[in-house]
Amino acid sequence: MNFFYECDALTRAYILLVAFVLGLAMGSFCNAWAFRIVNGGSVAKGRSRCPRCGHELAAKDLVPLFSFLFLRGRCRYCKAKIAPRYLLAELISGLYYLSIVWAYGFSLETIRLLLLGSIVLIMSLVDLDTMELPDSLMIAAAMLSFIRLAEEPANWHSMIIGPLPAIALLGLVLIMDMLLKKESMGGGDIKLLAVFGIHLGAANCVLLLVLARILGLAASALARRKKAEPFPFGPFLAAAAWFAAIFGRKIIEAYMSLF
Ligand SMILES: [Zn+2]
């Protein structure tokens, strides 16, 4: 067991709070990174600016969550409304960090999953704007999986089998596309599913695909979208992978015990 689970309840609560705040800050960074991928410009160079009035933002405008609440969701300089999705992305990032530390404590696995989550958050934000999942981030997410070998050398087994459901799905999609003469699932989504397979294993890969489909169908029913209109599937895969990372192992064990 790791150090986190040996702490008393108060210390654990404090650590989770720190994880949440760190997640908020990383969420703010992911927002900036995604914004610059979509709109151009480098992340390292240049200060953050208001997208409408172009005013350079001061440190006090960039405090995650609190700046948004304090400024009531508006730019301090031109009073333009800041899209609530920036706040939402920060909150999601904060909750993700908290949940991963809660589930995995202090471990190499935690570091890997936190970094993976932040890369996937940037990808999801870009996907919402452009309907594309950038390959550079996909490669970074895949490379990150090599940390699994340091966690447990025997993991190489799971890393090879992990993406097989995604590869099977790719075959199925190619056949479907040929028969229906239309694209039924984006190539980027299948690549992302394969990356989740390498990180979380084959069983989780199947579980999260089913879950992402249900979430996607529910969301499109809620939004009452026409079937022909495409919508980004990446964020649904990401949400399902989050669930699988936290609860997947227990669900799969419970399922296997039925036989
Ligand atoms: Zn402004």
Four-CA torsion 210, 216, 217, 218, nearest 10 degrees: 110
27 vs 22: CA distance, rounded Å: 9
**Domains of the chain: which residue ranges?**
1-106, 109-259
pLDDT in tens, 145-181: 999 999 989 889 999 999 999 999 999 989 988 888 8
Q: How far is the CA of 71 from the centre of ligand 1 (A)?
A: 12
**pLDDT for the residue numbered 226:** 59
Helix, coil or strand: residue 74:
strand
Å from CA of 83 to ligand 1 middle: 12
Residue 173: Cβ within 10 Å count: 17
**pLDDT tens sequence across 58-82:** 888 878 888 888 888 888 888 888 8
CA of 81 to the centre of ligand 1 (A): 8
Look up residue 6 and give its amino acid. E
CA of 160 to the centre of ligand 1 (A): 48
User: Ligand 1: distance of its center to the CA of 57 in Å?
Assistant: 9
Q: How far is the CA of 28 from the centre of ligand 1 (A)?
A: 17
d(CA 189, CA 231): 12
In angstroms, the CA 236 to CA 224 distance is 17
**CA pair distance 63, 86, nearest whole angstrom:** 12
Instruction: Name the residue type at position 71.
Output: L
42-63 per-position pLDDT tens digit? 655 567 778 788 888 888 887 8
User: What distance in angstroms lies between residue 75's CA and the mean position of ligand 1's atoms?
Assistant: 5
Q: Which residues contact 38 (CB under 8 A, 6 or more apart)?
A: 126, 129, 130
How many angstroms separate the CA atoms of 199 and 46, rounded? 34
Q: Quick one: three-class SS letters along 20-73?
A: HHHHHHHHHHHHHHHHHHHHCCCCCCCCCECCCCCCECCHHHCCCCHHHHHCCC
CA of 78 to the centre of ligand 1 (A): 4
Centre of ligand 1 from the C-alpha of residue 121, in Å: 25
How many A from CA of 129 to the centre of ligand 1?
21
pLDDT at 228 over 70: no
Is pTM beyond 0.95? Reply is no
* Confidence at residue 249, expressed as pLDDT on a 0 to 100 scale: 86
> What spacing in Å lies between the alpha carbon of 66 and ligand 1's midpoint?
17
SS3 content of the chain, % helix, strand, coil (to 5): 70, 0, 25
Spacing, Cα 137 to ligand 1 middle (Å) = 29
Between CA 124 and CA 221 the distance in angstroms is 20
CA of 79 to the centre of ligand 1 (A): 6
Residue 125 pLDDT grade (very low, low, confident, very high; cuts 50, 70, 90)? very high
Ligand 1 geometric centre to CA of 69 (Å): 16
